[in-house]
Amino acid sequence: MRKSVCATAALSALALTLAACSGASDDGDPTATGDGDAPAEDVTISFYTDKAAWEPSFEEMNTVSEPEGLTLSFTGYSDPTAYDAFVKQAFRTDSVPDLFTWHTGGQLAELVEQGLVAETTDLWAEAEANGDVPEGLIDNYTIDGKQYCVPLNVVYWTMYYNKNIFDEHGLEVPTTWEELETVADTLVENDVVPFHQMNIIFEFVWFQALLAGHSPETYEGLQTGEASYTDPEVVEVMEQWGEMMDNGYFIDPGVSTDPQTLLSTGEVAMAYFGTFFTGQLDSVGAVSGTDYGVFPVPNMNPDTETNQMILETGPLCVGAGAENEQAALDYSAWWMGEDAQGAWSSSRGDVSFNPKAEVADPELATLVEAVGNDEFQVQMRYLEATPLPVYTLSTEIFGDFVTNNPDPVPGLERLQAEAEAYWAEQE
């Protein structure tokens, strides 16, 4: 993963963190104790998120954080667009959210530039000193050498497959791109659709998987303006993607049936999703390790030496100047710890960013262990890694591509023009 900053010296930052946590004696914060362990009084923290469906999990977490004197008052939005508008509007009022979920990349930088988010550099230094965060995750939260927000979660993007379909057709889990194509061809010959894909929300994910596995340096170069969308490596990926569609590898990208149902019923044999998909499969009664399994997407280019793993992470942010800003920072520090993350992983049925947190699902536990053993080069998800104007245009370009499979070059030229305009403004 690219490094944008060097970590702050751990011991000195840890000392600063402890000093900050002893706020009652130092800064007069009436909610803080002198020993830095918990507020002197219970504090209810206002919490806003666009993950309304996750309310039961956050309610469970309240039972874990109550001994710390910290409880969340949950407000969830189901419409992401309405939620983003609410957060930006809230900072123009006296009702600044204590704690809220947000986005990494350009959208986080936008709030930081406006001074709306509390700095968390000391919290990150303590978490790194404790081994509570994996190497490189901090890059997603670093802006101009300082950290803002803490990770709400991490998601690894991997291939889910229907075990019954594989068994029925005598298929083995592929470990190379050639083997993956052989599996797909076999499925097509037997009237089974190999892969799921969508033309909204996740229309970009096959692009990231193919390009990262074909030319990792080009994938990274697009994030910094050092590579072009018209480079041969990008064109080759789009042509490969189009050939896969021509070969009947993908389901209709506009199908309205949810992907967990499609995979669990065998209407598609494989679905490339983030590890949050485990919870969705569980919700329809599919059993991990019995009905479905996971495997990393093989590199499209066999000469790419290191396997690639796409990582997505969502921030948990503290509103600068919020009524309970210090308590929200205390909650953020607690959230990064092993106990909180073990409870969160258990509640969500997902992986945790904390390497010490137990992952109950054996399929995901194997995946996390492999990532922890440095078997992969971890890359940021395309959405967060790409400048916002370019990403916004890409939803149109990739959405049209997966729907109509046109000549990709005109779309790539439009993306490159948008990228050049963006990077010119940064100079």
- DSSP conformation class of 319: B
Q: Are 142 and 4 in contact, with CB atoms under 8 Å apart?
A: yes
Distance CA 108, CA 142 (A): 10
Query: Residue 34 has which token pair?
Result: 């002198």
How many CB atoms sit inside 10 A of residue 95's CB? Answer: 12
Burial class of residue 125, CB neighbours in 10 A (0-12, 13-18, 19+): buried
- DSSP conformation class of 190: T
Query: Residue 423 has which token pair?
Result: 């990077």
How many CB atoms sit inside 10 A of residue 192's CB? Answer: 18
Q: What is the average per-residue pLDDT within 304-326?
A: 95
The amino acid occupying position 349 is: G
Q: What is the average per-residue pLDDT within 334-339?
A: 96
DSSP three-state, residue 377 = strand
From first CA to last CA, the distance across the chain in angstroms is 24
Per residue, the 3-state secondary structure of 128-177, as one string, reads HHHCCCCCCHHHHHEECCEEECEEEEEEEEEEEEEHHHHHHCCCCCCCCH
DSSP three-state, residue 7 = coil
Predicted pLDDT at 67: 95
Q: What is the average per-residue pLDDT within 69-86?
A: 93
- Reported as a single tens digit per residue, the pLDDT across 171-208 is 999 999 999 999 999 999 999 999 999 999 999 999 99
Which pLDDT band holds residue 3 (cuts at 50, 70, 90)?
very low
Q: Are 247 and 188 in contact, with CB atoms under 8 Å apart?
A: yes
DSSP three-state, residue 281 = helix
Distance CA 211, CA 309 (A): 12
Residue 137 has pLDDT above 70, yes or no: yes
Predicted pLDDT at 358: 87
- Reported as a single tens digit per residue, the pLDDT across 346-364 is 888 789 999 889 888 888 9
Distance CA 425, CA 47 (A): 35
61 closest CA partner among 405, 335, 315 = 335
Distance CA 74, CA 128 (A): 28
In the predicted model, what is the mean pLDDT of the chain? Answer: 89
Which pLDDT band holds residue 372 (cuts at 50, 70, 90)?
confident
Residue 382 makes CB contacts below 8 A (sequence gap 6+) with 204, 205, 207, 208, 310, 391, 394
Which pLDDT band holds residue 369 (cuts at 50, 70, 90)?
confident
Beta strands 307-318 and 150-162 are antiparallel
